[in-house]
Structures are given as structure tokens and as C-alpha cells.
């Protein structure tokens, strides 16, 4: 399989975001820290799969994806992103076995999530 995209990744499972310490949420707006995440590493998109390597390793066939969403929701809210997510939005990937919130190639202002979203949508389209 040919590598289509590769980047650095910050990510969390949905249950990790839901169970975070909410008393620190507003700090993401004013501190020099990045957005909320619990894992980091690298991500590779190939013709038929996503691979995440880092503190947790995941190999996900694209056929396992049941929902792909670019944006905030009731779990990962704009409060968890600097400028309330004005310049980027998290990429949510849902499978039958997990839901991931992903931030790819974040540089304190922008991310490449939209590029990854569009590429994965093209690969999933018949």
C-alpha cells in the first residue's frame, strides 16, 4: 500500500475526553498549551488503512470506519481549542469498537484535519 499522507497527531478516545478534568477547560483559551489530548505520535494514511504509532499503536482498516466527522460536538467542544476552534476543528473517527478525536499537524493556530478529512472521504467514496 502506498503512503498517501503522513503527519504528527494529538488524539484521545471519546471516553477520555468525556472524563477529563473540566475545571481546566477554560485554560485552553489563555495558556500556551495546545488543545486537549491524551495521546500523541504519528499517523499514516495508506490506500486502505490508517496507522497511528506513539504511546498507543492503532491499525485501522478504512472499511472499519462507520462515521467520519470534522467539527466539534457535545463531547469535544470548542472550549477545548484555542480561540474556541476558530481556525481548526477536530476530526472524529468512529468505528464499531472505538471513537477517536484527532488533531493532525497542529501548529498552535491551524491543523491539517480538513485535508485529511477530504482525502479519507474520497477513499471511502464508491
Residue ranges covered by each domain of the chain: 3-124
Q: Give pLDDT tens digits for 2-38.
A: 999 999 999 999 999 998 766 665 555 566 667 888 9
Q: Among 17, 21, 59, which residue's Cα sits nearest to residue 39?
A: 17
Q: Give pLDDT tens digits for 36-54.
A: 889 999 999 998 999 999 9
Four-way CATH pick for 3-124: 3.40.50.20, 2.30.29.30, 3.30.70.270, 2.40.10.120 = 2.30.29.30
Q: In the chain, where do the E strands start and end? A: 3-13, 39-46, 49-54, 58-61, 65-70, 91-95, 99-104
Amino acid at each position: 500500500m502506498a503512503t498517501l499522507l503522513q503527519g504528527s497527531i494529538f488524539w484521545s478516545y471519546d471516553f477520555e475526553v468525556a472524563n477529563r478534568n473540566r475545571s481546566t477547560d477554560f485554560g485552553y483559551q489563555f495558556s500556551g498549551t495546545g488543545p486537549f489530548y491524551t495521546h500523541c505520535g504519528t499517523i499514516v494514511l495508506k490506500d486502505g488503512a490508517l496507522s497511528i504509532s506513539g504511546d498507543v499503536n492503532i491499525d485501522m482498516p478504512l472499511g472499519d470506519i462507520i462515521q467520519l466527522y470534522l467539527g466539534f460536538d457535545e463531547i469535544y467542544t470548542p472550549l477545548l481549542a484555542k480561540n474556541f476552534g476558530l481556525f481548526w476543528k477536530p476530526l472524529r473517527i468512529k468505528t464499531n469498537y472505538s471513537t477517536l478525536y484527532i488533531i493532525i499537524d497542529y501548529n498552535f493556530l491551524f491543523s491539517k484535519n480538513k485535508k485529511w478529512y477530504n482525502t479519507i472521504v474520497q477513499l471511502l467514496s464508491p
